[in-house]
Amino acid sequence: MKFAFVSGARPQFIKLAPILKAFEELNLSFFHVHTGQHYDVSMSDQIFKDLQIPSPEYNLNVGSDSHAKQTAKMLVGLEEIFIKEEPDYVIVPGDTNSTLAGALTAVKLKIPVIHLEAGLRSNDWNMPEELNRIIVDRVSRIHVAHTLTGLIQLVKEGADEKFIILSGDPMVDSLYATVNREEPLENKLPVQDEEFLLMTMHRAENVDVKEKMETLYRVIKDSPLKILFPAHPRTLKKLKEFELYDKFMDLDNLILSEPMGYLKFSKYLSMCKGVITDSGGLQKEAFILSKPCITMRTTTEWVESLELGANRLLGFDKEKVLSSINEIKQGSFAVTETHPYGNGRAGAEITNKILTLIKDTSF
Q: What is the largest CA-CA distance in the chain?
A: 62
Q: Which residues pair with 58 in a beta bridge?
A: 33
Handedness of CA 350, 355, 360, 363 (dihedral sign): positive
Among 175, 168, 160, 227, smallest CA distance to 17 is for: 175
DSSP-derived pairing of the beta strands 2-7 and 89-93: parallel
Concatenated DSSP letters of 48-93: HHHHT-PPPSEE----S--HHHHHHHHHHHHHHHHHHH--SEEEEE
Non-local (6+) Cβ contacts of 345 within 8 A are: 168, 173
Q: Does 202 participate in catalysis according to the annotation?
A: yes
Q: Residue 253 in contact with residue 220, Cβ under 8 Å?
A: yes
Which residue in the list 32, 202, 232, 339 is annotated as catalytic? 202
Q: Which residues pair with 92 in a beta bridge?
A: 115
Q: Exposed, middle or buried by CB within 10 Å (0-12, 13-18, 19+), for 202?
A: middle
Alpha-carbon distance 94 to 214, whole Å? 31
- Residues with catalytic annotation? 202
